[in-house]
Amino acid sequence: MNIDECINNLLPQMRKDKEYFWNNPEKGFKEIKTSEYIIKRLKEMGYKDIKTNIAKTGIVAELQGNQNGECILFRADMDAVVMDENRRTKHTCGHDAHMTILLALAKLLIENKDKIKGSVKLLFQPAEEANGGAKAMIEEGVLENPVVDKVFGLHVWSEIDEGKIGIKEGAVMASTDPFNITVIGKGGHAAIPEKCVDPIYIASEITIALQGIIGRNINPNETAVVGITAINGGNTNNVIPDEVTLKGICRTYNNELRKNIINRIEEISRDIAKSMGGNVKIDHMIGYPAVVNSKKEVEEIIDISKSIVGEENIVTNYRTMCSEDFSYFLQEKPGAFIFIGNRGENLAPQHNENYIVSEKSILIGAQVMYEIAKKYLLTIN
């Protein structure tokens, strides 16, 4: 891999930054210490224009060049993963590395401030893990004043080998839409089921029928997942309960198709329940859209990446059913979301207790971001 000397020289500080984030994980919208640390580091570098408390804990640091040009936004997420029912948090998704990389880029940019054409926004975002901090920051105006032209983000990723870069045109991460279905029947004695409306029976029929959405309502050339992940109802052997709850999720790469799937879930569930004498209450928790990369920016990043890891280490056919709220930025502006490989013999998968990010992955991530900055912002080779 080819890493610039200026980035290698930042490695001692990157180690310190990552160690701090690793040792101080915080939940979404509660990244108080994390935010304070980032602000302190940015001020030490010389940043003056720092907007804080955006969407509670979010930060945007800006640099304005002396020449006209585009406004480029780089984003890192700040929150840690909630690991269990006790709300224990840990940086097992790599956000500690993302913040470390963006702080390294901040240092490189301010050292080259006089060479900036246009402007740059360095965005540190709260609450990527299921709470939609990206959407909240957009609603508070981070893409305005000055208006952002392009957006870029990255994710260290345990499904791609360490030393490789994943970058693909089009959809690279799926939408995610959790849903709850409450099946309402009429409880009673299990010995006289004809006097009851059995919600367990209805829920079973709904569970089976929803699996048919993929096989019978979706073009075979599309990719989607619809699944029931939890069924809860009843407490004893001789009582039919009044209600059963189903929990499930649907995912797809097509942001239009997701609307059709949601409609079919509702239609199938209501029709089955009604035909069996019951009713349903459906609660859709509309999640993140699919992450869709822009063609032009992807082509340019592929060329950039070749100079860092070599053409043989560029993965252009990878996408995942996992989700990411960077999708909201890409719905508004052209840009790209990049995977930095972090799979290796001694590297655990994402959200695993033992997940860590290698220094090699961090260096590659920092180099990618710096090369993008040089492409769009800096008048240097």
Question: In angstroms, rounded to a whole number, what is the distance separating the alpha carbons of residues 74 and 79?
Answer: 17
> What is the per-residue pLDDT across 179-215, written as a single tens digit (0 to 9) for each?
999 999 999 999 999 999 999 999 999 999 999 999 9
- What's the predicted TM-score (pTM) here? 0.93
Amino acid at 36: E
Task: Write down all domains in the chain, each with its CATH number in brackets.
Answer: 5-173+290-376 (3.40.630.10), 177-284 (3.30.70.360)
Could you tell me the pLDDT band of residue 66, with boundaries at 50, 70 and 90? confident
- The CA distances from residue 28 to 75, 100, 239, 295, 358, in Å, are 16, 18, 41, 31, 24
pLDDT at 381 over 80: no
> Please, which contacts does 311-316 make with residues 24 or more away whose CB atoms are closer than 8 Å?
313/163, 313/164, 313/165, 314/164, 314/165, 314/167, 315/160, 315/164, 315/165, 315/166, 315/167, 315/168, 315/339, 315/341, 316/166, 316/167, 316/168
- The CA distances from residue 104 to 25, 46, 110, 143, 359, in Å, are 20, 13, 10, 22, 13
Could you tell me the pLDDT band of residue 284, with boundaries at 50, 70 and 90? confident
Mean residue pLDDT across the chain: 96
